[in-house]
């Protein structure tokens, strides 16, 4: 009797990727970063708090509108050099920092917003966060669903916000009040996600270097269409930068002229999202009143868990937000002009539409 063959089927090798592993401090791992909180947290000293308070009183005595305050109007002789160092860590290091101890307790919103704006001005120039021209944003539940309304932005709801970037170089959040429960901040290095995909599925990573139709959610600059086409990963001048919102990619499919998502697209986006939310890669933060989180959108994705709010309107969760364009930021590829409106370092990002009027409102709207 002849012996029968029992040859083992050998799986084909993974495709060879044309991409490289991203090295350096921006490719951090959450499991490691959780043990290094002292490196990414800065606690304001009494001297620095006193500087902020003195600067607030000085600009208010001059009658300056918040949106008109420039760094030279808000002198911080001790804290200013520290903020420049923190900005360097955000732009060229790990991509995030948590500043603790902003003087906001038992103060009117106008004083807290002025203090926040003044500190933010030392980080970069404020950009419009919506078609209304809000230079000072309010992260606050207005009682409308972003899933139900394709033109609603997630920050105005209590719903979970999936991983995304904001349309600016640096986003900053100041916690005024916490929710009754939930509202956890989560961030992940998009560079670490890149490396994980490169190792496991380089073919799907390559798809993320190709354009996706992305919804403008009804905030359409003059001369533009209702969506733009941009890759998630963008390599330029030796750096990789990210543009991403899964919600906006999905809702762009409402436009017949947008390219239809393929099964490979869905597989790549699903893996990207799952890796972003991997407990090994992500870093969770619980905000306390007076905390300011600065994030570099080009290398960091951020998310938020759903939350239950207080019934008392005076206790409702409330964060202030700034979109900032700092000097010393990285060069960006031409496709970013679709999202940022311009590529000029220190003067790019934000949302400007036909009737946009720039201002810094003190109430959510």
Q: What average pLDDT does range 82-100 have in this prediction?
A: 98
pLDDT, one tens digit per residue, over 65-77 is: 999 999 999 999 9
Q: Are strands 41-43 and 96-100 parallel, antiparallel or unpaired?
A: parallel
CA–CA distance, 292 with 125 (Å, rounded to integer): 17
Is residue 5 very low, low, confident or very high in pLDDT (cuts 50, 70, 90)?
very low
- Give residue for tokens 């078609």: 131
- For residue 237, what are the CA distances in angstroms to 229, 246, 288? 21, 26, 38
Q: pTM for the full model? A: 0.91
- For residue 132, what are the CA distances in angstroms to 214, 218, 221? 20, 12, 12
Q: What average pLDDT does range 251-275 have in this prediction?
A: 98
DSSP 118-131: HHHHTT-EE---ST
Helix (H) or strand (E) holding 53: helix 46-61
- Give residue for tokens 């311009």: 342
Closest residue by Cα to residue 233 from 333, 159, 125: 333
Residue 185 sits at φ, ψ, to 5 deg, of: -85, 135
Judged against a pLDDT cut of 50, whether residue 1 lies above it is answered with no
Judged against a pLDDT cut of 70, whether residue 144 lies above it is answered with no
């Amino acid at each position: 009797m002849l012996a029968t063959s029992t040859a083992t089927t050998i799986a084909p090798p993974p495709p060879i990727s044309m991409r490289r592993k991203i090295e350096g401090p921006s490719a951090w791992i959450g499991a490691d970063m959780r043990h290094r909180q002292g490196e990414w947290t800065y606690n304001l000293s009494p001297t620095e708090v006193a500087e902020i308070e003195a600067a607030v009183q000085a600009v208010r005595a001059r009658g300056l509108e918040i949106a008109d305050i420039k760094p030279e109007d808000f002198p911080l002789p001790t804290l200013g050099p520290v903020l420049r160092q923190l900005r360097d860590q955000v732009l060229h290091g790990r991509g995030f920092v948590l500043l603790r101890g902003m003087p906001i307790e038992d103060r009117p919103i106008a004083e807290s917003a002025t203090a926040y704006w003044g500190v933010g001005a030392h980080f970069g120039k404020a950009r419009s966060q919506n078609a209304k021209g809000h230079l000072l944003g309010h992260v606050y539940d207005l009682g409308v669903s972003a899933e139900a309304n394709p033109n609603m932005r997630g920050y105005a709801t209590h719903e979970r916000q999936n991983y995304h970037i904001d349309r600016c170089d640096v986003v900053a959040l100041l916690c005024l009040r916490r929710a009754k429960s939930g509202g956890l901040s989560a961030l992940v290095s998009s560079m670490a996600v890149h490396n994980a995909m490169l190792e496991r599925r380089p073919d799907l990573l390559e798809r993320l270097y190709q354009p996706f139709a992305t919804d403008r959610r009804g905030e359409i600059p003059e001369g533009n269409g209702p969506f733009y086409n941009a890759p998630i990963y963008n390599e330029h001048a030796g750096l990789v930068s990210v543009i991403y919102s899964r919600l906006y990619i999905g809702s762009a499919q409402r436009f017949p002229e947008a390219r239809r998502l393929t099964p490979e697209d869905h597989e790549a986006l699903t893996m990207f999202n799952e890796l972003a939310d991997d407990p090994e890669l992500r870093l969770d933060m619980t905000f306390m009143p007076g905390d300011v989180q600065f994030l570099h959108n080009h290398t960091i994705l951020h998310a938020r868990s759903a939350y239950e709010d207080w019934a008392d309107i005076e206790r409702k969760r409330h964060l202030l937000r700034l979109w900032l364009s700092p000097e010393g930021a990285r060069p960006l590829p031409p496709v970013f002009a679709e999202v940022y409106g311009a590529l000029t370092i220190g003067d790019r990002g934000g949302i400007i539409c036909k009737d946009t009027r720039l201002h810094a409102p003190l109430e959510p709207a």
